[in-house]
Structure 1
């Protein structure tokens, strides 16, 4: 079967697309070959003719169109990938911020906390904080050791923020039209690099102590750099965030104004850090470091601020609590300032026995809890033998301290700078 086309002029060097498609259609309609074979033949022959028998301009136009379509497809793919990365980055940021906020809530005070303290005072119950405050008398810790060291043990209060690495901006609260900080649908503070409110603060508390003979204060690394605890640092790094200390204050007993502290050195091998404070505020203060190692069975005394502000309010008594409730404020900073102004900041003392010693740790049973990290562990001569670092509630209430030898090594690094 043949098909002829009559032309009234010389046969064209190039065929039109309409002619090529018409020929392919005529072939499929009249061919008696099996359907699959005649369709593949029509497509093969039509495709070859479109690529070789059409005008050069048509072929260039088709090629350019295909390139444009491919370009748009690539751009869409890149946009989808960037969007997916942005969503993943945002989810990591939300997860990291949630972890930081969880720790902040542990150190912050809520109306329920005040209510619990008020009920304890009314019912004359002995709360955990009050029990820790009376351990000095119950355990019979030597008055001389406690009295000589108390003035050098500081209540540390700080806050850090998060800087967005890509933009270089610190995360700030997003403020609504009424000037109040907005929250996400999940009830978390809404914070963004482009927020117009105050920088988002992640607050913490701990303990530190002055070292005799220098305007330096020792504490734990996880107190001076609270974002290094657990998996927080990795979570922040994955979220493209960088922690930055906003404020670190040290409150000393019998001083009504806090001292600004600055981290100057921390240990990679042990949970230790050294802070620098204003020399004029710490003259004639400080605790001496022991020259000898602790022995199993030796009696030790631990000073610190376990449970942070909650314990301090409990020690301050019902009158102080009533004043807070009357003012209606639970501000993290103002409560500590008020306690300091009224000379109500004093460390709690407890006694324990050394259970085990090694080059890297001392295990003892002196009672403490969260917030007591960084406190000095003293021997009967009132010298520091360890720095309280961790609690082991699952092991009979035992606690772990970093031997003072590690602190001496860190001080040598500071002196060599």
Structure 2
């Protein structure tokens, strides 16, 4: 008869024994078929019990002579056995689970028996309660490995190996992701370095201020030289008694120069409080995770850490300050409700700047963090929100967080009114942004500001506003060309002039400055006021004419 014995305790604990016999003895003696270790199982007799098959049924008998056989916890001298009976050899002696097996059954252990026996052995093993699942899993796997069928062993191996394979695959994937992230960070470091071309050290900013100051001095010298030459020409012609026509031509040229100066001064006096310094700042965040692109750290001077190639070190990990690319431009009021007009690219710098475009293609998305405007004579800035963006022109309508108390709206010329070539114009703007504004201050004042604030873009703008030092620069010129969508004019400007109003002699806005064509002799390009009216109409706004 086929039988299976599973040892729950004692010297054979954890063992499963298959028997195909009609008789077997249990004990520590050499004549026994199931032999226990005498040193471990001292309560077991040399011949403790025997199982015999009688009339096709197994029967167990006590041969210890001490009534030391227990079946299912009860002392027993002789008892028929059923599948699942629990045998114990001596009080506190080894426990054995008895199982009957069909004659056609293979010499393997069914999974349900493996689980049941493993649970029995865990219950009888002293351990912390929270360790039970671990002990059970260990015994189940050990039994499957020893006594399970080939199919069960394969299944168990799959269960064991699958997590390892998954862990290995995840490890490879994470490592590849790590390499990709590092490559992305290196690329973003290069792009951020290109984007931060406007980020200057204190020495660099001081050099640019001095250069701008020399440029302003040179322009003033050229103007005075021109006035001096014209005045000298008048005196020479009077002395030489030239023709009246020649003298009138020189006087007219001198008068136009002086008139243009008065015209520009009048425009500044009337409208400078409506032309503000626009300050923006944007960063990047990972499109998938939403994590911000951050600096790795800063040196003792507050400058970002650099790699061996001079690129700014960046990461999406940690809590360091996020990367913010600051920029400046010009915007102007068109009504008393706080409606502001400027170029679209000053609100969406990433649309027109190639390094920013590459950052977007690398899996990042823009994050506009700062957009505000400082008006002359006002100590605090106004935050801006986007109202309407033109889809055909470089224009955008913004609105201040509250209506500026002392701002002066600029009147717009009628949309249908034409602009003539040669017509004089004035541009109010903030060319060069900070270096342009600081260059117009006395050297002691600009140096004191640099000492107090340094090159922090936000603090520098706020300090200039609090000291009432923000004022637009006026440049003069004339219309050089007119087309339906573009007005070209000659008037000195630089970076920061974008978004500035172009005004005619009567003080009406006829165009919005967009860019400088430096390869065409410094000719500026402006967007005609007709496009402004169209955008305001789309936004449902109608400033006074």
TM-score, normalised via structure 1 length: 0.73
Partner of 1:106 in structure 2? 198
Per the alignment, in what secondary structure is the counterpart of residue 312 of structure 1? helix
Partner of 1:347 in structure 2? 472
Partner of 1:376 in structure 2? 501
Partner of 2:433 in structure 1? 308
**Structure of greater Rg:** 2
Partner of 1:361 in structure 2? 486
CA distance in 2, matches of 1:382, 1:307: 24
Residue 206 (str. 1) matches residue 329 (str. 2)? yes
CA distance in 1, matches of 2:337, 2:223: 28
The residue correspondences of 1:190-339 to structure 2 (distance < 5 A) are 190-282=313-405, 285-291=408-414, 292-327=417-452, 329-339=454-464
Measured at CA, do residues 358 and 193 of structure 1 come closer, stay the same or move farther in structure 2, by a change above 3 Å?
same
Partner of 1:146 in structure 2? 268
CA drift at 1:284: 5.5
TM-score, normalised via structure 2 length: 0.57
Residue 394 (str. 1) matches residue 519 (str. 2)? yes
Tell me whether 391-400 or 241-250 shows the greater mean CA deviation: 241-250
Per the alignment, in what secondary structure is the counterpart of residue 281 of structure 1? coil
Equivalent residues of 2:335, 2:410 under 8 A apart: yes
Equivalent residues of 2:202, 2:450 under 8 A apart: no
Partner of 2:285 in structure 1? 163
Tell me whether 326-335 or 207-216 shows the greater mean CA deviation: 326-335
CA drift at 1:215: 1.2
Measured at CA, do residues 255 and 166 of structure 1 come closer, stay the same or move farther in structure 2, by a change above 3 Å?
same
Per the alignment, in what secondary structure is the counterpart of residue 402 of structure 1? strand
Measured at CA, do residues 193 and 411 of structure 1 come closer, stay the same or move farther in structure 2, by a change above 3 Å?
same
Segments of 5+ residues of structure 1 without an aligned counterpart are 1-56
Q: Which has the higher contact order (CA 8 A, sep 6+)?
A: 1
CA drift at 1:108: 3.9
Segments of 5+ residues of structure 2 without an aligned counterpart are 1-149, 228-256
Between Structure 1 and Structure 2, how many residues are aligned? Answer: 349
Equivalent residues of 1:132, 1:367 under 8 A apart: no
Residue 127 (str. 1) matches residue 214 (str. 2)? yes
Per the alignment, in what secondary structure is the counterpart of residue 151 of structure 1? helix
Measured at CA, do residues 215 and 231 of structure 1 come closer, stay the same or move farther in structure 2, by a change above 3 Å?
same
Equivalent residues of 2:386, 2:396 under 8 A apart: yes
Partner of 1:172 in structure 2? 294
Equivalent residues of 1:130, 1:314 under 8 A apart: no
CA distance in 2, matches of 1:328, 1:250: 19
CA distance in 1, matches of 2:311, 2:353: 22
Measured at CA, do residues 201 and 164 of structure 1 come closer, stay the same or move farther in structure 2, by a change above 3 Å?
same
